[in-house]
Chains A and B, each alone.
Chain A
Amino acid sequence: MIHSLFLINCSGEMFLECDYFFEAQEKATDVENVPPVISTPHHYLISIYRDKIFFVSVIQTEVPPLFVIEFLHRVADTFQDYFGECSETAIKDNVVIVYELLEEMLDNGFPLATESNILKELIKPPTILRSVVNSITGSSNMGETLPTGQLSNIPWRRAVVKYTNNEAYFDVIEEIDAIIDKSGSTVFAEIQGVNHGKPSCAIGQINNPRLLDDVSFHPCIRFKRWESERVLSFIPPDGNFRLISYRVSSQNLVAIPVYVKHIISFKENSSSGRFDVTIGPKQNMGKTVEGVIVTVHMPKAVLNMNLTSTQGSYTFDPVLKVITWDVGKITPQKLPNLKGTVNLQAGAPKPEENPSLNIQFKIQQLAISGLKVNRLDMYGEKYKPFKGVKYITKAGKFQVRT
């Protein structure tokens, strides 16, 4: 189950053994259930689980646990950023860079440089091209100049940056979290601003700031202006970043763009059951719902499924008991449907719980909360940069109870 154990202690050393952790791991039935904080007689182990790797840090004295967890996630993010994936092989292949990175990120157990663009200036990420060039010219991966960002108050941006094309893109991505229980629903939405560009100053205006219930900002946003004028004013970082995230509270009615009809039942004493799921769009403001995937965790007693789908394809994993139904685009004319029979283990009692359906979908060009970026102005540059705003609505943790 566990591919590798990656132990990082506070001073940035790595070592590969930690009995207490293994013990806790064995005890937990599921990888997700390993407690993030483990207390041992002399140390405290704080771990996170990302992409099949445990990042474990060893703590000796009192420290806010979130501080460590947040940092470990930042480390994982950095690896992801550098190696494209945060897998065991990637890390093993790049042990030296991992060491160099950790050396920069931690000083005596205290986070030092965690901003990805500073790190990239210090240690260039490996690419095939660069390794070829390095082997020919003998140059190294290490930045020759020392980073300037660390010295300034805006560590997310390098001091002098020049690009050939000037563009700023904003993606407004809203995710709908919902639990649908016949009628009741809980809804959140979240936006991720993904900016790609380099103006020295930008201001974004949002049509209806009162909509936003709770907002969290990238440190680049000038909070004072938001407070007073409800305007987002910021010096954007290089590369992709999350500008703000917000929640639209469940008090505001959130339109759920899809509906599901389902009949999942098991017959008493007959080791078979019925499975019938239909999914359809509700009101979608003229946009199509695409990328629909339905996953269902079936009860343990289920042996096999015998289904036919009118659209898309389905797979059933008999070990994990998971059905994945890749529906694709929903057209209102012909509603996708998946139905058939369920084979249960002979003699096993009827499962009591009906499984819940997890649904993923995507709607392009729509922010379901009605949020719009009204204006995007840039200052401090003479040229006229290219600006673009894209809206996507996605399903977040979207669950339908049956």
Chain B
Amino acid sequence: MSASPAYGEEKGGSGLGEPEYGHDPASGGIFSSDYKRHDDLKEMLDSNKDSLKLEAMKRIVAMIARGKNASDLFPAVVKNVACKNIEVKKLVYVYLVRYAEEQQDLALLSISTFQRGLKDPNQLIRASALRVLSSIRVPIIVPIMMLAIKEAASDMSPYVRKTAAHAIPKLYSLDSDQKDQLIEVIEKLLSDKTTLVAGSVVMAFEEVCPERIDLIHKNYRKLCNLLIDVEEWGQVVIINMLTRYARTQFLSPNQNESLLEENPEKAFYGSEEEDAKEDKPDAASLVKRKPYVMDPDHRLLLRNTKPLLQSRNAAVVMAVAQLYFHLAPKAEVGVIAKALVRLLRSHSEVQYVVLQNVATMSIKRRGMFEPYLKSFYIRSTDPTQIKILKLEVLTNLANETNISTILREFQTYIRSMDKDFVAATIQAIGRCATNIGKVRDTCLNGLVQLLSNRDELVVAESVVVIKKLLQMQPSQHSEIIKHMAKLTDNIQVPMARASILWLIGEYCEHVPKMAPDVLRKMAKSFTGEEDIVKLQVINLAAKLYLTNSKQSKLLTQYVLNLAKYDQNYDIRDRARFIRQLIVPTEKSGVLNKYAKKLFLAQKPAPILESSFKDRDHFQLGSLSHLLNTKAVGYQELPDWPDEAPDPSVRNVEVPEWTKCTSREKRKEKVEKPFYSDSEGESGPTESADSEPESVSESESESGSGSSSSSGSGSDSGSQGAESGDRSEERRKKKKGKEGPRKAFLDTAGSNPSEEEEEEQGKKGKRKKKPQHEGKGDSGSSWEEGSVSESSSSESDSGSEAEESQSEPESKRRPTPPSSKAAPKATRKGTKEISLLDLDDYRETEARGREGTCPRSPSRPVAELGILGLPEATARVTTAPPQPASSPSVVSTSLVTDLEGLSLTDTSLASTLLSPTFSAVRTHELLHRMAGEGLSVEYCFSRQPFVPDPHMVAVHIQFSNSAEAEVKGLRVCAPRLLPGIRLQEFPEIESLAPGDTASVVMGIDFSDSTQAANFQLCTHSRQFYVSIQPPVGELLAPVFMSENEFKKEQGKLTGMSEITEKLTLPDQCQSDQAIVQRVMVAANVSRVPCGADHVYRFAAKTVTSGSLVLITLERKDGARAQLTVNSEKMVIGTMLVQDVVQALAP
């Protein structure tokens, strides 16, 4: 690149730029090398050659990529935001978005560039300006962003509108208080008819207000029809959203079928009393239910999404697939299988996700994937995780007809080199064997053959699976048990050894001769075994003791003694337990009698289940489904409603794009909360008051429908918890390795069966009533509700807190004993004015006397502090409350009032303005303690600074309370941000103890509220100080007539106009009080105005002289609207806040 040699040269001569930093005593030597390193970059950025700038930016971006911190270059980079070269500009954007949050003050400098961009005639520039503006995460510009978004949402160009939609979630994440306004924008954009916008706005909807489903009604049909032309990423978002929407608005297409389907399931679970009970309400509801007719809108959605199954984008295909799975009638779901199978040819990550979803679907709808069975065959080159998922699917698909081919396939897999996969295959065979009774023996034989496999892991896994299978029909398989008993010599895998021991113990009557011998061997090697094996040895010993005490008494004693001194406390506990339980002593209680029952109870076989069972309560294709836990921000898929809500809400007045105009056009109902909309039997014409009833009805119905289930559910839940506890204990007693369920069998026949029943009942119910599926669902949705509630209340309380914070503040502020000058002036003013308008002013007078304590200007500063300038707040709080500036303010307002009488006499104005200084609020610059006796205060005098009209005059008052004289007081080493200038005051040669001196200095704040940092030096010390102006002090009053004002205001509309609604407090009802408060907040002058209840103020910014116009319009009551027009949007927004604060109670 041509830039690099140039850069080299410059580096040689870069000494020139350095001294600036070298001499800075604060920066010290440590950092200087750092400065040197980036100096060349800074110089390159400052040069006027684009190529140099580009090179510099490229290197900076490369630095960021390497993870180095480039934040100290921020000022130098930001300057280039206005660069003409588009590549430089882009890279500056990249940089800005990365660092703006860290350097908020500086980032504000770039904002005007973007604001200009927002007005560019080129749509692409407008869009990119909005994009970057919204990506700068600086809270202070939230109002600007809000405005920009609103503006862009009604832009002519769809591309800009799309960008606006993208900006919405960004703003929301920055400041969630804007939600209501953003929802308005979303509502507006949702009605957009272009495909470009649709995807983006739905994305914004999903992030900001997914609960406001009512916003979709009007746009539902449009979205369905546009869908196919939306870009693919948007399609995914829209489809997912519409799935949720449809679940709330339409009836389940499978309600009748699902009822029919249940019956065999029930039969399978056999004669349970609960079942019988359940049947009745179901049957009743079946009778009640009308024959199902699909809503045309429901059909529209299904029809319009179907072609997207052909999309090249896997995410779109998956989205459609889940939509069909959740919404389509059972007969139609099959179409998605093909497309999903096609995705299996894609990248392995895609395969992984698709297979997870297929696994879930294949449990619910096995038939769907059966034709594609072979597509799930496993290749030796597949990654293990894919293999295991395919295995899962194959297992789910297995049924009596295809099991033989599947088993043949499994045989190949068992010989694989991938041992994890082999283990999974063995598990899969076990599951097939349990599910399909026909092949159980074949599988078992196959597994037994595997016991002679050379690989220990394979054998171990087989043992575990065989154990589970044997539990189903132990009596027929004593041969296998014998075979396994022989294996104890060879198998070392603990889990397998434990399984064998458990089997032998459990079925010791089938192998009466071998069992004691096994125990003998195990006793010998007891100390060397793993913990789970030891536990099973103890179990085996106990069971043998009970059945065959003659042979095994001593062995048992021996084992128990060994266990007594084991290191593991579980084993010691178990040994103690069992000794008490089985060995009869005097002390041992009643349980001893039941020992045999406890240990040798019939235990139900474990159920081998897919881990994907019941995963479908998560929306398929979602992250939550994949992880099987609720992910952050997951939107629950609602259950079908029992009654369809009113379909007419989706009617649109001009359905030009809809084809289903056949639907009768009903009059639009205006924004009903959709939950209360229920069509009912009587249709939409039903009067509104019947609605709550029907809701409650449906609620109660659903309540009753699920009451038994939910009742039993909660029962089972609590019982489960209880039983869990109990079983814990019992397990210890019982050593029943297979868990709590078996442990139950002894105590009472009813207890265990109950539990089982419940579990099966749950299953049954789930199938019976998908709409009441999972109490967990409803529970969590409730939870969600409460969460949102609490959050809202939180935010409420937050705002309350804020209020309460501000309230005492205002209360604390002493209602100033209005100094003598004040009432006089007021009186004078009122007198004069009352000549014109008596009625109005009598009131104001009274008010003005009692309550209109002029606010001290501390508020705006404090406000700034809140906005992220902590220094200011600190200072304000430490500063003693000053007596308020009522006289001056009143007098200025008087001036403007006089202006109103068109007595525009500038000399009068200036004379009246001049005394303001004495009464204006002062701020502390240096505290007496910190300044070692020297205290410094400053105030904004609101007088023009004569040497330079672009500077703000700051009066500084020094007072020396120390013992010694202070000499050589001066300003030195200002470290100013770019754009800020400072006119130093003449050095004060000496200040005697007890003396005070005041000086005026000028600061050009460059129309920003950034602090001017400098040092105050005395002969002996330096103090770091900074002066930060409230935004109101950056202005200088301008006098203009009403007509001029209106003319100027007309030029400053759109983006430059900021409007805020507010409520005026009681003490601010009078004109005077309002004017006063505004004038305290900002250095503005009042513009005379003919209309009542409209107050206008004008000013210009000190540095650039751009106009700032304030209009305050009182509406009826206490409501008012504040409008600020200014080119400088930052100033405008901050001013609005200040004025609103000033007018707050």
Chain A residues at the B interface, C-beta cutoff of 8 Å: 13-16, 29-30, 32-33, 35-37, 39, 44, 47-50, 59-67, 69-71, 73, 95-96, 98-100, 103, 107-108, 110-112, 114, 131, 134-136, 138, 140-144, 146-147, 150-151, 153, 155, 177, 179, 181, 186, 188, 190, 213-219, 223, 227, 242, 245, 247, 250-251, 297, 299-300, 349, 351-356, 358, 396-397, 399, 401
Known: A100-B94, A219-B312, A247-B342. A108 touches B135 (CB 8 A): yes
Chain B binding surface SS class: helix
Residue of A nearest to B123 (CB): A151
Known: A96-B58, A186-B375. A110 touches B314 (CB 8 A): no
Q: What residues of chain B lie closer than 8 Å to A32, measured between beta carbons?
A: 348, 383
Ordered nearest first, which 10 A-B pairs have the shortest CB separation?
A61-B633, A142-B87, A32-B383, A146-B124, A140-B87, A36-B349, A62-B634, A66-B315, A186-B374, A67-B315
Question: Could you mark each residue 316-346 of chain B with 1 if its beta carbon is under 8 Å from any beta carbon of chain A, else 0?
Answer: 0111000000000000000000110110010
User: Which interface residue of B62, B94, B635 has the most chain A CB atoms within 10 A?
Assistant: B94
Q: What's the Cα separation between A147 and B124 when bound, in Å?
A: 9
- Establish whether residues B158 and A223, one from each chain, have CB atoms under 8 Å apart when the complex forms: no
Q: What residues of chain B lie closer than 8 Å to A44, measured between beta carbons?
A: 623, 627, 631
Among A47, A62, A190, contact of B633 (Cβ-Cβ < 8 Å): A62
- Establish whether residues A66 and B354, one from each chain, have CB atoms under 8 Å apart when the complex forms: yes
Q: What residues of chain B lie closer than 8 Å to A63, measured between beta carbons?
A: 623
B659 within 8 A of A: no
- Establish whether residues B384 and A39, one from each chain, have CB atoms under 8 Å apart when the complex forms: no
Known: A214-B339, A245-B312. A62 touches B349 (CB 8 A): no
- Establish whether residues B345 and A177, one from each chain, have CB atoms under 8 Å apart when the complex forms: yes
Q: List 5 A-B contacts (CB under 8 A).
A: A32-B383, A108-B169, A146-B122, A216-B311, A245-B312
Among B62, B85, B455, contact of A95 (Cβ-Cβ < 8 Å): B62
B354 smallest CB distance to A (angstroms): 7
Known: A62-B634, A153-B229, A250-B374. A39 touches B629 (CB 8 A): yes
- Establish whether residues A217 and B415, one from each chain, have CB atoms under 8 Å apart when the complex forms: no
Interface residues of B in 343-397 (CB under 8 A from A): 345, 347-350, 352-354, 371, 374-375, 377, 379-381, 383-385
- Establish whether residues B1 and A67, one from each chain, have CB atoms under 8 Å apart when the complex forms: no
- Establish whether residues A14 and B310, one from each chain, have CB atoms under 8 Å apart when the complex forms: no
B417 within 8 A of A: yes
- Establish whether residues A67 and B229, one from each chain, have CB atoms under 8 Å apart when the complex forms: no
B189 smallest CB distance to A (angstroms): 15
Q: What residues of chain A lie closer than 8 Å to B228, measured between beta carbons?
A: 223
Other A-B pairs, 4, CB within 8 Å; known A44-B627, A62-B631, A186-B377: A62-B624, A64-B236, A140-B85, A188-B345
Q: What's the Cα separation between A223 and B384 when bound, in Å?
A: 38
Interface residues of B in 103-126 (CB under 8 A from A): 122-125
Known: A61-B633, A103-B94, A140-B86. A135 touches B312 (CB 8 A): no
- Is the interface on chain B under 10, 10 to 19, 20 to 34, or 35 or more residues? 35 or more
B51 within 8 A of A: yes
Q: What's the Cα separation between A29 and B1071 when bound, in Å?
A: 79
Among A48, A64, A144, A153, contact of B319 (Cβ-Cβ < 8 Å): A64
Among A62, A95, A96, A358, contact of B622 (Cβ-Cβ < 8 Å): A62
- Establish whether residues B61 and A67, one from each chain, have CB atoms under 8 Å apart when the complex forms: no
- Establish whether residues B233 and A67, one from each chain, have CB atoms under 8 Å apart when the complex forms: yes
B542 smallest CB distance to A (angstroms): 39
B277 within 8 A of A: no
Among B91, B315, B380, contact of A356 (Cβ-Cβ < 8 Å): B380
Q: What's the Cα separation between A135 and B633 when bound, in Å?
A: 49
Q: What's the Cα separation between A171 and B927 when bound, in Å?
A: 82
Q: What residues of chain B lie closer than 8 Å to A114, measured between beta carbons?
A: 233
Among B67, B134, B159, B415, contact of A151 (Cβ-Cβ < 8 Å): B159
- Establish whether residues B632 and A353, one from each chain, have CB atoms under 8 Å apart when the complex forms: no
B416 within 8 A of A: yes
Known: A32-B348, A36-B353, A142-B87. A216 touches B342 (CB 8 A): yes
Known: A36-B349, A37-B626, A66-B354. A95 touches B61 (CB 8 A): yes
Q: What's the Cα separation between A108 and B377 when bound, in Å?
A: 40
Among B203, B240, B341, B624, contact of A110 (Cβ-Cβ < 8 Å): B203
Known: A64-B315, A110-B166, A136-B2. A96 touches B67 (CB 8 A): no
User: Which interface residue of B87, B317, B338, B634 has the most chain A CB atoms within 10 A?
Assistant: B87
Chain A binding surface SS class: mixed
Interface residues of B in 49-68 (CB under 8 A from A): 50-51, 54, 58, 61-62, 64-65, 67
User: Which interface residue of B123, B203, B354, B412 has the most chain A CB atoms within 10 A?
Assistant: B412
- Establish whether residues B380 and A297, one from each chain, have CB atoms under 8 Å apart when the complex forms: yes
- Establish whether residues A95 and B65, one from each chain, have CB atoms under 8 Å apart when the complex forms: yes
Q: What's the Cα separation between A136 and B159 when bound, in Å?
A: 36
Q: What's the Cα separation between A147 and B67 when bound, in Å?
A: 31
Residue of B nearest to A143 (CB): B86
Q: What residues of chain A lie closer than 8 Å to B311, measured between beta carbons?
A: 216-217, 219
Residue of B nearest to A64 (CB): B621
B200 within 8 A of A: yes
Residue of B nearest to A251 (CB): B371
- Establish whether residues A37 and B381, one from each chain, have CB atoms under 8 Å apart when the complex forms: no
Residue of B nearest to A352 (CB): B415
B93 within 8 A of A: yes
Residue of A nearest to B62 (CB): A95
Residue of A nearest to B60 (CB): A96
Q: What residues of chain B lie closer than 8 Å to A214, measured between beta carbons?
A: 338-339, 341-342
- Establish whether residues B631 and A61, one from each chain, have CB atoms under 8 Å apart when the complex forms: yes
Q: What's the Cα separation between A29 and B421 when bound, in Å?
A: 13
Q: What's the Cα separation between A62 and B348 when bound, in Å?
A: 22
- Establish whether residues A69 and B85, one from each chain, have CB atoms under 8 Å apart when the complex forms: no
B195 within 8 A of A: yes
Among B67, B342, B635, contact of A15 (Cβ-Cβ < 8 Å): B67
Q: What residues of chain B lie closer than 8 Å to A29, measured between beta carbons?
A: 384
B86 smallest CB distance to A (angstroms): 5
Q: What residues of chain A lie closer than 8 Å to B353, measured between beta carbons?
A: 36-37, 65-66, 69
A241 smallest CB distance to B (angstroms): 9
Residue of B nearest to A37 (CB): B626
Q: What's the Cα separation between A223 and B349 when bound, in Å?
A: 28
Interface residues of B in 291-325 (CB under 8 A from A): 307, 310-315, 317-319
A227 smallest CB distance to B (angstroms): 7
B90 within 8 A of A: yes
- Establish whether residues B341 and A300, one from each chain, have CB atoms under 8 Å apart when the complex forms: no
- Establish whether residues B87 and A179, one from each chain, have CB atoms under 8 Å apart when the complex forms: no
A258 smallest CB distance to B (angstroms): 17
Q: What residues of chain A lie closer than 8 Å to B159, measured between beta carbons?
A: 150-151
Q: What residues of chain B lie closer than 8 Å to A151, measured between beta carbons?
A: 123, 157-159, 196
Q: What's the Cα separation between A299 and B380 when bound, in Å?
A: 12
- Establish whether residues B632 and A60, one from each chain, have CB atoms under 8 Å apart when the complex forms: yes
Q: What residues of chain A lie closer than 8 Å to B236, measured between beta carbons?
A: 64, 67
Q: What residues of chain B lie closer than 8 Å to A50, measured between beta carbons?
A: 347
A256 smallest CB distance to B (angstroms): 14
- Establish whether residues B347 and A73, one from each chain, have CB atoms under 8 Å apart when the complex forms: yes
User: Which interface residue of A48, A138, A245 has the most chain B CB atoms within 10 A?
Assistant: A138
- Establish whether residues B417 and A353, one from each chain, have CB atoms under 8 Å apart when the complex forms: yes
Q: What residues of chain B lie closer than 8 Å to A358, measured between beta carbons?
A: 381
Residue of B nearest to A47 (CB): B349
Q: What's the Cα separation between A150 and B158 when bound, in Å?
A: 10
Q: What's the Cα separation between A71 and B313 when bound, in Å?
A: 9
Q: What's the Cα separation between A401 and B417 when bound, in Å?
A: 13
B170 within 8 A of A: yes
- Establish whether residues B313 and A70, one from each chain, have CB atoms under 8 Å apart when the complex forms: yes
Q: What's the Cα separation between A102 and B177 when bound, in Å?
A: 30
B275 within 8 A of A: no
B98 within 8 A of A: yes
B214 within 8 A of A: no
Among A48, A65, A135, A217, contact of B2 (Cβ-Cβ < 8 Å): A135
B81 smallest CB distance to A (angstroms): 15
A192 smallest CB distance to B (angstroms): 11
B290 within 8 A of A: no
Q: What residues of chain B lie closer than 8 Å to A177, measured between beta carbons?
A: 345
- Establish whether residues B94 and A48, one from each chain, have CB atoms under 8 Å apart when the complex forms: no
B454 within 8 A of A: yes
